[in-house]
Amino acid sequence: MKRTISAMSGPGVIAHNRRTYTAANVDRERTKDNIEYCCQDIKDVYHELFDEALEEYNAKQTRKDRMIEDYYEKIRSGKQEKPFYEVIFQIGNKDDMAVGTPEGDKAKEILHQFMLGFEGRNPQLRVFSAHLHMDEATPHLHIDFVPFITSSKRGLSTRVSLKKALEAQGFKGEGKTSNERILWIESEKEALAEIMHRHGIKWEQKGTHLEHLDVLNFKKEQRAREVAELEHRLEQLTPEVENAEYLAEEYSKSPEEILPEAAPFETAKSYREKKAKPIIEKMSKVIMSIYSAYVKLKWNYESIESMYHQEKKKNNFLESLLNSASKEMRSLKAKAKDLERVKKYFGKSKIDEAIEAVKQQERTNSTREKLFSR
C-alpha cells in the first residue's frame, strides 16, 4: 500500500481547531473522535518562555522608549516574525484514507504516534495547541507552535525566530528553494514515513509537479511578507515626507513676512545688524538643513515605493504561476484517474502491453528519423 504525505502551513485559527465554532465541512457527530493534545493560551506561553529574558533586557536599557512592555504584543504587531506558526499533516486523501474506513483509522493511529514524538524531535518549537481531527473527510493533524532560540546576542536573549530555531535543530538553508523550513518539513515527512512503514504503508512521493507547487507556495508566502514589510515602511515614511514638505514651504517665506517690526527711532543699521541679519542667517541654516533632509527623505521614499511596486508585480506573477501549476496538477490527477478506469475496464495487463507497444513504436520511429537524417 502506498500513500502520499501532505504537510502545509495552516492559518492558525485555534477556535476552529478546538471546535469552539463548527465549519460547514465538519461532521458534528464525529467531533467526539477528535484528539486534543494541548490547548494553552498563547499569552501564558509567552510569559513562560520570555518573561525572564524580557526583564533582563529592560534592566539594561537606559532609554525608556527602548523598553518592551509586552513581548507578545511587540511580535504580534511587528512584521519580522509571526507570534506563532501552524503546520498541518495528512496521510493520503479522502479517496484512499477517508474517515470512517479501516484506512482512516490506520491514518489516525499513525498521526497519533507522529504527534507523540513531535516535541522530542523539535525542542526549539514550543507546542501550545495540537488537535487531530476525525470529523472532516480525511484524518489530519494541526500543530501550533512558538519557535524560539536561547543565548541570542540580538534583542532578548531568548526570543522568537523560526529561522534560528530550525537552524538550532540542524537545518541550514541553501537559498530560497532549499531554506530551513523546507528542509525541516522534509525531515518531518520522513519521520512520518517511518511510522507509516511500520504500519505497512509506503510513502508515495508524487515527484516534480508537487515539489514545484510546494516551492511556488513558499515563494508566494515570502513575497507576501516582503510586500507587507514595504507597505509598513511606506506608512512610516509618508507622514515624515509630508511634514518635511510643510516645513520646507513654511521656512521658504519672504523676509518681509517673518522679520519683526522696527522699534521707534531705531536706525536702519541697528535694525539690520541686531534683528534682520541674525534672523536671516538662522533661517538660512534652517532652510538648508530642512531641504537637505527633505531631499534625502524623498529619495528614500521614492526608492522604497519603487521596490514596493516591483514586489507587488512579482507577487502577482507568482499568484498566476501558482494557479497554473494547480490547474496542471488537477488535470494530471484527472488523467491519472481516467487511466485507472481504462485499466479496470480492459484489464491492467492489456493496457500495459498497449503502452509498451506504443513506446516501442516511438523508439523505432526515432531511430529511423536519425538514420534518414544522416
* CATH number for position 178: 3.30.930.30
Q: Is residue 358 part of a domain?
A: no
66-75, 188-197, 361-370: least confidently modelled range = 361-370
The C-alpha atoms of residue 327 and residue 321 are separated, in whole angstroms, by 10
Specify whether 189 is located in the same domain as 333: no
Residues 193 and 310 in one domain: no
Relative to beta strand 140-149, strand 85-91 is: antiparallel
Same domain for 20 and 154: yes
Q: Which residue has the higher pLDDT, 370 or 144?
A: 144
Kindly report, residue by residue over 56-70, the tens digit of the pLDDT: 999 999 888 889 999
Question: Hey, what's the cell of 254?
Answer: 519672504
pLDDT at site 239: 53
Structural contact between residues 130 and 147, judged by C-beta atoms closer than 8 angstroms: no
Pair 57, 107 in one domain: yes
Does residue 218 lie in a domain region?
no
Cα separation, 303 vs 297, in Å, equals 10
Q: What is the mean pLDDT of residues 79-88?
A: 92
Whether 84 shows a pLDDT value over 90: the answer reads: yes
- Asked if the structure places residue 165 within a domain, the reply is yes
Structural domain of 253: 231-351
What is the C-alpha to C-alpha distance for residues 173 and 150, in angstroms, rounded to an integer?
A: 20
d(C-alpha 318, C-alpha 227), whole Å: 13
In a domain, 372, yes or no: no
Nine-digit cell at 65?
A: 522608549
In a domain, 373, yes or no: no
Does residue 171 sit in the same domain as residue 261?
no
pLDDT computed for residue 219 by the predictor? 54
- CA dist., res. 123 & res. 49, Å (int): 13
The answer to whether 15 and 21 are in contact (CB under 8 A) is: yes
Residue linked to cell 514545484? 212
Verify that 71 and 112 share a domain, yes or no: yes
∠ CA 188-194-195 to the nearest 5 degrees? Answer: 95
Residue ending a domain, among 138, 171, 205, is 205
If one compares 239 and 263, the residue with the highest pLDDT of the two is 263
Residue 162 forms part of a structural domain: yes
Pair 236, 324 in one domain:
yes
Q: Do 201 and 237 share a domain, yes or no?
A: no
Q: Output the 3-class SS for 114-153.
A: HHHCHHHHCCCEEEEEEEEECCCCCCEEEEEEEEEECCCC
Note whether residue 356 is domain-resident. no
- Considering the domain architecture, whether residues 192 and 236 belong to the same structural domain is answered as no
Q: 330: buried, middle or exposed (CB in 10 Å: 19+, 13-18, 0-12)?
A: exposed
299 and 239 assigned to the same domain: yes
Distances (CA, A) of 147 to 15, 33, 134, 202, 286: 21, 29, 27, 31, 49
Q: Cell 533632509 belongs to which residue? A: 293
pLDDT band for 29, please (50, 70, 90 cuts): very high
39 — pLDDT class (breaks 50, 70, 90): very high
Same domain? For 168 and 316 the reply is: no
The per-residue pLDDT for 324 is 74
What tens digit of pLDDT does each residue of 228-241 get?
555 555 555 555 55
The helix (run of H) or strand (run of E) holding residue 108 is: helix 102-116
**Residue 98 sits in the same domain as residue 200:** yes
Confidence (pLDDT) at 356: 80
199: pLDDT strictly greater than 70: yes
**Residue 263: inside a domain:** yes
Q: What is the pLDDT of residue 212?
A: 47
Q: How far apart are the first and last CA of the chain?
A: 49
How many domains does the chain divide into? 2
User: Is residue 104 over pLDDT 70?
Assistant: yes
pLDDT at residue 287 tops 60: yes
